[in-house]
Amino acid sequence: MGRLLFIFSALFMLWSPRLNAQLVKGVDESKIIYRNVVQGGVSLNSRGLGLHFRKGKKLHYTKTFLYDCSLQNLKHPKEVKSVNAFSKNSNGFLYGKLISLNAIQLGAGIQKTIYPKNDTKSIAIGYSWFGGFSLAMAKPVYLYIFHQSDMEGIQEKLERYNPEKHFPDNISSRAPFFKGFQQSRFYPGLYGTWQINCSFGSQEEKIKMLETGISLNAYPAKISIMADNQPGQYLFFNFFIRFIFGKQWNHP
């Protein structure tokens, strides 16, 4: 009896690694919970472009807590590019635009999966919401303006846009991008977003996702982007589509 037990134990030890290997190989990777998550992406929205970064932890296979950081461009719907035919500069300008408005958003939220993947080749559907602090930076617009004199002729001078003095016929082109940063005003406020998403990709540890949804930026003071946008607005609604990519893992 002792010999039979010894032989059985020896055979089991030799066979068990193969059994374990088969079990590991057969694991459904779509059910593995990756605790750490990092995401980044770009968005095209009704008010411009955006850059996004998120990092957090999975609370459950279908639920993730994420910190959210983004840079959002907030344009006005009436912005139209104009070009002065008498200008040598073809960059053009946005007539009537008083400021360039961008917002830094810092917050947190939840990403929830409604229909998980059945396997690594399927698609998952879910939604998410984020909210937090928004800091808007309003940079004044500078333009090159035509000036004519008998002694100097026609010259271009860099000036801050003034709707009472500057018109399409005396504006040459827009100024360099960084001109006006020192005169920027800052508006603290709040933001919130809600979006639905579609996750795809055959590798579960790599994130590929499309999102579409709405966002709202709210500020306690009115902000005027255009000269005819008086007295300005407190709320900025936005519709967007985003491409999100990233990874998820378990090790520290």
Model confidence pLDDT, tens digit, residues 79-97: 988 988 778 776 889 999 9
The beta strands (E) that lie in 16-165 are given as: 36-45, 48-60, 63-73, 81-82, 93-94, 99-115, 124-140, 142-149, 153-160
93 closest CA partner among 187, 174, 180: 174
Residue 89, in any domain of the structure? no
* SS3 letters across 53-69: EEEEEEEECCEEEEEEE
Mean pLDDT of 218-245: 94
Residue 226's pLDDT is 95
Residue 86's pLDDT is 79
Residue 18, in any domain of the structure? no
**CATH for 216:** 2.40.160.20
Q: Residue 240 pLDDT > 70, yes or no?
A: yes
Amino acid at 13: M
Residue 176, in any domain of the structure? no
The pTM score is 0.81
Query: In the chain, how many domains are there?
Result: 1
Model confidence pLDDT, tens digit, residues 185-207: 999 999 999 999 999 988 888 99
Residue 55, in any domain of the structure? yes
Residue 161, in any domain of the structure? no
By percentage, how much of the chain surpasses pLDDT 90? 64
Going by pLDDT thresholds of 50, 70 and 90, the confidence category of residue 147 is: confident
Could you tell me the residue range of the domain that residue 43 belongs to? Answer: 33-78+99-139+183-249
